[in-house]
Chain A
């Protein structure tokens, strides 16, 4: 068996074992949420509160800045912002996933992906809570609900699967090279401003080069858009689905090449 196959077998075996003990990381994800809001009155709804305040205030300001109608802009902004929060929180928190689980990694014979899945699951839970804000926006400011909204589920699945390989990849690299963590955090901060989240994507349609870089080629745009478009009652473009399916495939191969090689060394780096 050649090295590539061995690495692939290692990663798929790790993922398979991780999913067969889903009970564990599902419980740990919930526990993280509980721990974050322990002994607060509102509990996880603090996430909802702070996201709500941010969405309503910034949404109002930006709709004035761009000179667009609030009823159209606010649903766009709230759907985009909660999707973005899922992606950025997962990316940043995955960096330290193996470091946070180092006692477990060195003491139990456990697959490694559970530490990334735990991070991913708790951020999906946060996303679920934040969704209530968007629901309120749709009901009171936007155009109400439609069946198209439900199409956010396949989009979410595609984005989450991409988040999973990014998480495993980044967690492995960050465990060895601790500086990468800071690099990732600053890149994600910049990406928030250059990705169309608080500005409408069609604003730069007149500049083809900028549009290509910031929208067409930007993976984060597609990850946000497959969730955002259905949530505001529109169909995401087919190209987004294709883009994300290809990136999932390419990303998986990258993860196999890097994590497959480095998983054996992981506990030595902690």
Chain B
């Protein structure tokens, strides 16, 4: 079977272009976060090694949970999978459409109406206007904004804009879905509705990658888990074994 996601010795190194003078000289191992380096191998520049030498293969049907402490590289890995960063070393291959729920509200223009923003966001997600028109009723119904969809987004309350961006982000059915913590949105009633929608979305995805600090969430949604620490894969495989390994290390 062809893997939907394949990482071949993928590394991510963030260059820091305006470091503090004192930081420039520090080469240290941190309790939290990636390794800050400044040596001849980086050409004298300060870099943060967020991921180093990751080798992974995920197949159709895999739901992979990401566990690990803060700064382990979970979010960086998700961003790389979502296509926001090219790996600074190694090769990433993805087969299928990728969609992510990493940051809500990107590309929303507050001056435009809700409907106009739905259209533009759809184009960002890689859909055509025609495809977008077909799913607008679903978005409109789910976000319950009614006539407000004809108003500029700047007139929305913060809860209303979250509803809109959440409804848009969860309206398409990608092959590969990338999720960073399941976020609740809006008031209690809407939050439970949002939860159901995200669960439905996750179960329909061909391949799911989900980072969470809640082991229950990982156990519920994932059939594999990846324990990441200091930018390296510590364990990849069975969910319970991965969580055990993480908890023993902590």
Contacts and interface: CB of A to CB of B under 8 A. Distances in A.
A108 B111 contact: no
A109 B111 CA distance: 25
Interface in B61-87: 79, 82-86
B14 interface: yes
Contact of B84 (A27, A38, A106): A106
A181 B61 CA distance: 48
Interface string B77-121: 001001111101000000000101011001101011000000110
A109 B83 contact: yes
A105 interface: yes
A105 to B, nearest CB: 7
Contacts of B126: 21, 109
A265 to B, nearest CB: 7
A110 B123 CA distance: 10
Given A31-B109, A31-B112, A35-B111, A108 B88 contact: no
Q: How large is the interface on A (under 10, 10 to 19, 20 to 34, 35 or more residues)?
A: 20 to 34
B120 A28 contact: yes
A2 interface: no
A13 B128 CA distance: 19
Interface string A84-116: 000000000000000000011111111000000
A109 B123 contact: no
Contact of B128 (A23, A104, A109): A23
B98 A109 contact: yes
A23 B100 contact: no
A140 interface: no
Contact of B125 (A31, A106, A108): A108
B15 interface: yes
A106 B123 CA distance: 16
B106 A108 contact: yes
Contacts, number: 63
Most A CB within 10 A of own CB, among B79, B100, B119, B126: B126
Interface residues of B, number: 27
B124 A104 contact: yes
Contacts of A109: 82-84, 98, 126
A263 B85 CA distance: 10
A247 interface: no
A193 interface: no
A205 interface: no
A106 B120 CA distance: 17
Contact of B86 (A35, A107, A264): A264
A24 interface: yes
A147 interface: no
A31 B82 CA distance: 27
B25 interface: no
Contacts of B128: 23
Contacts of A105: 84
A109 B88 CA distance: 16
B129 interface: yes
Nearest to B103: A107
29 contacts: A21-B123, A23-B123, A23-B128, A23-B129, A24-B120, A24-B123, A24-B124, A27-B123, A31-B109, A31-B112, A38-B111, A103-B103, A103-B106, A103-B107, A105-B84, A106-B84, A107-B102, A107-B106, A107-B107, A108-B82, A108-B83, A108-B84, A108-B125, A109-B98, A110-B124, A264-B86, A267-B85, A268-B85, A269-B15
4 closest A-B pairs by beta carbon, nearest first, are A109-B83, A24-B123, A264-B86, A106-B84
